[in-house]
Structure 1
Amino acid sequence: MRILESPAAAPDRRLPKARSLARNNAVTIVAAEPGLIEAESTEGDTCHRVRIELPCWAGQALADATSLIEKAMADAPAGLAPGDLPDELATALSRRVGLAVPLDEQAAHCTCSDRRIPCLHVLATLYTLTQRVDEHPRTALDLRLPHPPPALDHESSPDWIALAAVDPATFYTGE
């Protein structure tokens, strides 16, 4: 969001509309994987397909990011929720390898006819992605890492079980 709403840049009058689309669930992210975000942005009766390609970390940046992640996860407090990351990890990554991808390093495509780059639907997708990262911080790493390091595999913690694994008939009785 700091990239989109930079005080150094001229104000973009489309940002309030993009935020509104994101807040009103008009954008659905259909894929978020290493180097790629695909979404559908609905405006009225029209659905636009958005594709944003991001560079994954490579070379020394990947080695540095992996090292930082492994150290942060080893030092992380017990019981870290699935999808959560230690707070200091984002700061360390931002300082060392850059976590956010500047707009000029993103390749964004949309099916709309808007000639402005990025278009309203790409902006709305980026706001929606920001919401997702706020709720599930690991998403930011999943987009930049070509493959997750083993240190991020805390999703299978014995302290956490899938909701589908809970039998409601016996949960409260302890059977």
Structure 2
Amino acid sequence: MNIKMNQILRILCCSSILCGISQLGHTEDTLSEINFEFSGTVRAWACGVMDSESQKIINLGRHSTKNLSSFGDRSLTVAIPFSLSNCPPNGTVNITITGAKDSNNNELLALDNIIVNGKNPAKNIAIEISDQNKKRIPIGTKTTGLKSDATGNLSTILYANYIVTKSQVEVGIANSKMQFTIEYE
């Protein structure tokens, strides 16, 4: 029995050595090794208004009811330039204007219904926001077609003006607030 066990052990040892030699021979057949090294960045773009422009007060001026007396009359437009940074380079940027909608025309920005320094709010007038081509941007509607440059910056301009929404404008404070959200691709 001892002889058989020794023979089996020798056979197993020889088999193991042959397997090892076979594996060594296989690695010697490898022509070359190719190593890849990967690098990159995962980034959440923070496309937004530059800090210096995050809080703007736009003065639409003082206007007479003589010039704003009939439905649809408009004041002169006031430019609202702003810049975005950290957008995807050469990307598409869309903005959506939000704020309280006027009760007579929901495309327009409503005036605040707040008494300021004892003065009542104006009535039957709203604020119209327009794009760089002076085309109205209805409140809550996404603009399209703004493009950032190769460095991810975008400069554009919006316009604002008062517009009569119902005849018989009542004089008063004509303030409002708007926000916008930015989407980008």
Please tell me the TM-score bracket, short chain as reference.
under 0.3
Q: Which has the higher helix share?
A: 1
TM normalised by structure 2 equals: 0.26
TM (norm. structure 1) is 0.27
The structure carrying a bigger strand percent of its residues is 2
